[in-house]
A and B are shown apart, each in its own frame.
Chain A
C-alpha cells in the first residue's frame, strides 16, 4: 500500500524508484500518511466501539432473571423479548407506513424535477425539496403535534365514519395523536433523501434510450415508463431503504406526536396503541437508573441492529448497481 503511492510517471518496471523518491518526503510525509490511515482506522474502531459498548451495557438486562426485570416499574413483561417485541412492531409499523406514503410521492417529485420541470427551474426546485431535510426534527415534532394533528382531525373523522368497516381505520379518537399522524410526519422527513437519490438515478438514465423512445413516437410518459423507470428501479429501492433507515431511528417526531402504548395492534387511528424504540428510550431514559438503563440500552441495541441491516442492504444494492451501470 505504501509502495504504490506517488507519481504514475515512472511506470511500473522499477518499483524501487518511487520508494527512493518517496523518502524525500521524510519523516513529515510518513507521519502524515500514518495520521490519515489512523483516521480511517478510527472509523472502524468507532463503529466497533458503538456496538461493543452497547452490548456491554445491555448485557445485564439481557441476562437478568424475570423477577429482576419485574422490579422495573414500567416493564410490562417478564422477558426482555416480550418487552421489546411490541416496540419493534411499533417502530416497523410507523416506518413502513411512512415509506408507503413517501416513496410514490418521492418518485413523482424526482420525475418532476428530472424530466418534467423546465430545465432552468430544475436545480432550484431540488434545493426547495432539500430544505425539508434542513429542518430540525424537534421542529417537525412541534409542527406535527400542534398543527398537523388538529388539521388532520376532520379527515380522520371522515375516515373512521365512512371507512370504519375496514379494521385499520376503526375507532378514531381525537386528538389525532395516533400512529398515522406520526407516520405522515416521518414521511415528510424522509422525503428529501429518497427524492435526492431517485433524482440522481433518473438523471443518469441513458439519454440515447430516451431519445430513441421519443423518436419512435412515444409520449413523454411512455418514454419515462420504458427508458427511465426500469433503469432507476434499483436506485429507487435502495433510496427507499435509506429512507427506511432514517425513519426507524427518528426519535423526536414520534415522541412528541404519538401517545404511547405497547400492543401488537393494526388500529392506525387509535391513540395509545404503539410506541417506537427510539421514542421509548427518549421518554424513559432521563428518569432511569440501574437495570432499567440497561434494559433501555438493550432496546437501543435492537434498533441499532435493525437499522444496520437495512442500511447494509441498501448499500449492497447500490454497489451491485454501480457494477452494472458501468457497462451502458
Chain B
C-alpha cells in the first residue's frame, strides 16, 4: 500500500509481468486449495468447491498481481475475472434449468404421455397426458398468428414504405410501448372485450388467441420492420424505373427479398408467445379433453396444464415437469427452424 505512490508516477516499460499462463495456474491451484479446505472442514460438494475456488482465485490473482505488476494491472485482472465470472454465473441457471427439466420430465415423458388426454384421470392415477393440451396450444397460437401476422406485416410496411410525419412516429412509439404490455394485462383486456360482447360466462379459445395476438403483434412488427429496412433501396428504384407501381414493388420485390427474415421473425414471435401462461389462465382455463371449437368453451393449453398439474401436487408435479419438457422442446424446435430458415434462405450479406 505505502509503496504504490512512487510506482504510479513512474509507469516504466520495464515492469515485470506475470506469465500469460498464470491465470490458468491460479485457477487450478485455487480449485485444489478449495477442495482441500472443504475436505478438512466438511464434505466437499462440486458447487462448494467451485464457489470457494472462485473466491480464492479472484483474491489470490489480484493480490499477486498487485505485488508483482502494480495496482493498475491488478485492477485490470480483477475486472477481467469479475466479468468472466458474471458470464459463468449466468450459465448456472440455464444449465441447471435445462438439466432439471430434462431429468425430471423424462420420468413421465414418452409416446403415451403425448398421445393421451386427461379424461377419466383422478387422484394418483399414473395415466393421462398432454395430447389435448398440445392441440390446444397449437390451435390457439395459430389463431393468434393468423390475427397478428397480417396486421404486423402491414404495419411494418406502413412504417417503412409509407409512413411519414407525426402518425408514423406515433405508431413507432406505440409499438414500443405495446411491447411492454404485461401479459396478464393483455389477458384482462381480452377477457373484458369478449365478456362485454358475449356475456360474462363466455369462455373460448379465441379469447386466448386475441390476448396472445396483442402480445405478438409488436414483436412481429419490430422484426419485419428491421428486415424491410435491410432491403437495399436500389432494388426499389430499379422496380420504379421499370414502371412498376409502388404496391406491386412492395409485394413482388421488397417482401420477396425479405421473406426469409420475415419468416424467421414470425417464428421467433410465435416461440415467444407459445409459452405464455397468465393470459390463457384468465381466459381459456383448462379442460380434460380436446376442444376443437375455437369459438366456444374452454381449451387446454400446455402452459396452463403444467401450472394446474403443479398446483395439484403429488403425481401432478411429474406431469408438470413432463409438460414443461414438451413445451421447451416445441419452443427450441421453433427457434432452431427459425435460425435455419434465416441462415439458408436469406439473401447474402444480410449482416
Interface residues of A (CB under 8 A from B): 1, 4-9, 22, 24-26, 28-29, 31-33, 35-44, 46-47, 49-50, 53-54, 56-57, 104-105, 107-109, 111-113, 116-117, 125, 128-129, 131-143, 145-147, 188, 191, 195, 217, 219-222, 224, 242, 245-246, 248-252, 255-256, 278, 281-282, 285-286, 289, 296-297, 300, 303-304, 307-308, 310-312, 314-315
A50:B101 contact, CB within 8 angstroms? no
Contact with A along B242-272 (1 / 0, CB 8 A): 0101111011000000000000000000011
How extensive is the interface on chain B, given as a class? 35 or more
Q: How far is B179's CA from A310's CA once the two chains are assembled, in angstroms?
A: 12
B285:A220 contact, CB within 8 angstroms? no
Interface residues of B (CB under 8 A from A): 11, 72-73, 75-76, 78-80, 82-87, 89-91, 93-94, 96-97, 100-101, 104, 150-152, 154-155, 157-159, 161-165, 167-168, 170-171, 173-186, 188-189, 192-193, 196, 200, 214, 217-218, 221, 237, 240-241, 243, 245-248, 250-251, 271-272, 274-278, 281-282, 285, 303, 306-307, 310-311, 317, 320-321, 324, 327-328, 331-332, 335
With A108-B86, A252-B277 known, 7 other A-B pairs at CB within 8 A are A25-B246, A108-B87, A142-B306, A221-B75, A222-B75, A248-B182, A249-B180
- Chosen A-B contacts, 28 in total, with CB atoms closer than 8 Å, are A25-B245, A33-B162, A39-B150, A41-B171, A43-B171, A43-B178, A44-B171, A49-B193, A50-B181, A54-B185, A105-B89, A117-B87, A131-B94, A136-B275, A137-B275, A137-B278, A139-B324, A139-B328, A146-B317, A217-B11, A219-B76, A220-B79, A248-B182, A256-B311, A278-B278, A282-B184, A303-B185, A304-B181
**Interface SS of B by simple majority:** helix
Looking across the interface, which residue of chain A has its beta carbon closest to that of B282?
Answer: A285
Q: How far is B235's CA from A101's CA once the two chains are assembled, in angstroms?
A: 47
Whether A147 contacts B100 in the complex (CB less than 8 A), given A138-B303, A311-B177, comes out as yes
A139:B275 contact, CB within 8 angstroms? yes
B182:A307 contact, CB within 8 angstroms? yes
| B158 proximity list for chain A (CB < 8 A) | 36-37, 39-40
Whether A32 contacts B177 in the complex (CB less than 8 A), given A136-B331, A219-B72, A297-B188, comes out as no
| B184 proximity list for chain A (CB < 8 A) | 249, 251, 278, 281-282, 300, 303
A108:B162 contact, CB within 8 angstroms? no
B217 nearest CB across to chain A (Å): 7
A307:B181 contact, CB within 8 angstroms? yes
| B181 proximity list for chain A (CB < 8 A) | 50, 249, 304, 307
B315 nearest CB across to chain A (Å): 14
A138:B245 contact, CB within 8 angstroms? no
| A24 proximity list for chain B (CB < 8 A) | 243, 245
B303 nearest CB across to chain A (Å): 4
| A314 proximity list for chain B (CB < 8 A) | 180
Looking across the interface, which residue of chain A has its beta carbon closest to that of B180?
Answer: A311
> Contacting A311 at CB < 8 Å: which of B97, B176, B274?
B176
Q: Which 4 A-B pairs have the closest CB atoms?
A: A249-B182, A136-B275, A108-B86, A25-B245
| A140 proximity list for chain B (CB < 8 A) | 97
| B214 proximity list for chain A (CB < 8 A) | 46, 50
B177:A143 contact, CB within 8 angstroms? no
- The interface centre, meaning the residue of B90, B152, B164, B171 with most chain A CB atoms within 10 A of its CB, is B90
B109 nearest CB across to chain A (Å): 14
A240 nearest CB across to chain B (Å): 13
Whether A36 contacts B157 in the complex (CB less than 8 A), given A44-B170, A191-B90, A297-B188, comes out as yes
Q: How far is B178's CA from A166's CA once the two chains are assembled, in angstroms?
A: 41
| B170 proximity list for chain A (CB < 8 A) | 44
B154:A1 contact, CB within 8 angstroms? no
Q: How far is B185's CA from A297's CA once the two chains are assembled, in angstroms?
A: 9
Looking across the interface, which residue of chain B has its beta carbon closest to that of A185?
Answer: B93
Q: How far is B157's CA from A39's CA once the two chains are assembled, in angstroms?
A: 9
B340 nearest CB across to chain A (Å): 13
Looking across the interface, which residue of chain A has its beta carbon closest to that of B79?
Answer: A221
| A310 proximity list for chain B (CB < 8 A) | 180
Q: How far is B164's CA from A134's CA once the two chains are assembled, in angstroms?
A: 34
Looking across the interface, which residue of chain A has its beta carbon closest to that of B188?
Answer: A300
Looking across the interface, which residue of chain A has its beta carbon closest to that of B285?
Answer: A286
Q: How far is B180's CA from A19's CA once the two chains are assembled, in angstroms?
A: 39
A36:B76 contact, CB within 8 angstroms? no
| A5 proximity list for chain B (CB < 8 A) | 162, 246
| A221 proximity list for chain B (CB < 8 A) | 75-76, 78-80
| B246 proximity list for chain A (CB < 8 A) | 5-6, 22, 25, 29, 33
> Contacting A252 at CB < 8 Å: which of B157, B247, B307?
B307
Looking across the interface, which residue of chain B has its beta carbon closest to that of A241?
Answer: B180
A132:B174 contact, CB within 8 angstroms? no
| B75 proximity list for chain A (CB < 8 A) | 219, 221-222
Q: How far is B145's CA from A134's CA once the two chains are assembled, in angstroms?
A: 18
Q: How far is B104's CA from A6's CA once the two chains are assembled, in angstroms?
A: 59
Q: How far is B271's CA from A289's CA once the two chains are assembled, in angstroms?
A: 33
B76 nearest CB across to chain A (Å): 4
B250:A32 contact, CB within 8 angstroms? yes
B275:A116 contact, CB within 8 angstroms? no
Looking across the interface, which residue of chain A has its beta carbon closest to that of B218?
Answer: A43
B328:A135 contact, CB within 8 angstroms? yes
A218 nearest CB across to chain B (Å): 9
> Contacting A297 at CB < 8 Å: which of B174, B192, B237?
B192
